[in-house]
């Protein structure tokens, strides 16, 4: 059963499930999706635990780009910061990688593939930025 046409209700709000909203080029697939972020320009960023960890769509669902292969090991969550960077939580890489909208790495929080036992960056699971610029993280 697909959930196409199903309406979800949350209080007074109604949401329509549209599984076929996006369009992908030939060989690219979305698998093991673990997070979605929408930028202020309407671009939709999907992170997934497979090749092409970040896949970008425009607001109509047309494929724009994919990136992060070889940089992100296990995409667990995605969000944006105040500067418009994409923050991708690399759970098994023990870091957060910030990308610009074109997929270029801008900065990294913590060292890649270096777990910190019983301290931050031991399987991080999510990240958010406060209004003062501080980053808050949850760790696994």
Range 18-39 average pLDDT: 90
49 CB burial (10 A radius; 0-12, 13-18, 19+)? middle
Domain annotation covers residue 56: yes
Q: Does residue 73 belong to any structural domain of this protein?
A: yes
pLDDT tens-digit map of 46-99:
999 998 999 999 999 999 999 999 999 999 999 999 999 999 999 999 999 999
In this structure, is residue 17 part of a structural domain? no
> Is residue 5 included in any domain, yes or no?
no
Does residue 12 belong to any structural domain of this protein? no
Q: List, for residues 105-115, the tens digit of each pLDDT value.
A: 999 999 888 88
Q: Indicate the range of 4-13, 63-72, 111-120 predicted with least confidence.
A: 111-120
Please check whether residue 4 lies inside any domain of the structure.
no
Q: How far is Cα 103 from Cα 21, in angstroms, rounded to an integer?
A: 23
User: Is a pLDDT exceeding 60 seen at residue 2?
Assistant: no
**58 inside domain:** yes
Check if the beta carbon of residue 42 is closer than 8 Å to that of residue 58.
yes
Q: Is residue 111, in this structure, part of any structural domain at all?
A: yes
Q: Which domain holds residue 132?
A: 22-139
How many domains does one find in the chain?
A: 1
Q: What is the CATH number of the domain that holds 82?
A: 2.120.10.30
pLDDT of residue 4: 60
């Amino acid at each position: 059963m697909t959930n196409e046409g199903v309406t979800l209700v949350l209080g007074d709000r109604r949401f329509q499930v549209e599984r076929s909203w996006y369009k992908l080029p030939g060989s690219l697939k979305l698998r093991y999706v673990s997070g979605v972020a929408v930028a202020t320009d309407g671009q939709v960023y999907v992170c997934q635990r497979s090749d092409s960890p970040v896949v970008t769509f425009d607001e109509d669902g047309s494929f724009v780009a994919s990136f992060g292969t070889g940089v992100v090991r296990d995409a667990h969550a995605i969000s944006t910061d105040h500067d418009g960077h994409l923050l991708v939580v690399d759970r098994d890489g023990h870091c957060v990688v910030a990308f610009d909208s074109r997929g270029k790495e801008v900065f990294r929080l913590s060292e890649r593939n270096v777990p910190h036992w019983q301290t931050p960056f031991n399987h991080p699971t999510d990240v958010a930025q406060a209004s003062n610029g501080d980053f808050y993280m949850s760790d696994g």
